[in-house]
Amino acid sequence: MTDTDKDHKDLAHALGQSLKAIDADYKEEMSELRDLFQAAKEEAEKDEPDSVKLKHLLAEANEMARTFATLDPVWGAVSRVARMFGFL
């Protein structure tokens, strides 16, 4: 096994863990990010992953995760207020 193969296996494992965390806590809110992680995991698990495609998927997921991290506290506040008024 080469270092690159090990790196891809490690990446696929980390993406799998991220998918589990999303499914446990944020399934609906992060469905698009989950789809990107799933596509990246599937690409990383291939015998010969396309590194350009993998980099693109991970860059897009990174940007989306940053946006989500910024908005998550705001959404938490909005959803609490919405629940208080019976909207959620």
> What pTM does this model have?
0.70
Determine the Cα–Cα distance for residues 12 and 43; give it in Å rounded to an integer: 8
How many structural domains is the chain composed of?
Answer: 1
d(CA 30, CA 8): 24
Q: Which of 14, 21, 66 is nearest to 40 (CA)?
A: 14
Give 10-residue mean pLDDT values along the chain (88 residues): 81 89 78 91 93 93 86 78 78
The pLDDT assigned to 1 comes to 63
Token pair for 25: 């806590």
**Which structural domain, as residue segments, surrounds residue 14?**
3-84
Rounded CA-CA distance 37/40 in Å is 5
- Residue 88 has what pLDDT? 67
User: DSSP of 19-82, one letter per residue?
Assistant: HHHHHHH-TTTTHHHHHHHHHHHHHHTSSS--HHHHHHHHHHHHHHHHHHHHHHHHHHHHHHHH
pLDDT at 74: 77
Query: What's the confidence (pLDDT) of residue 40?
Result: 93
pLDDT at 86: 82
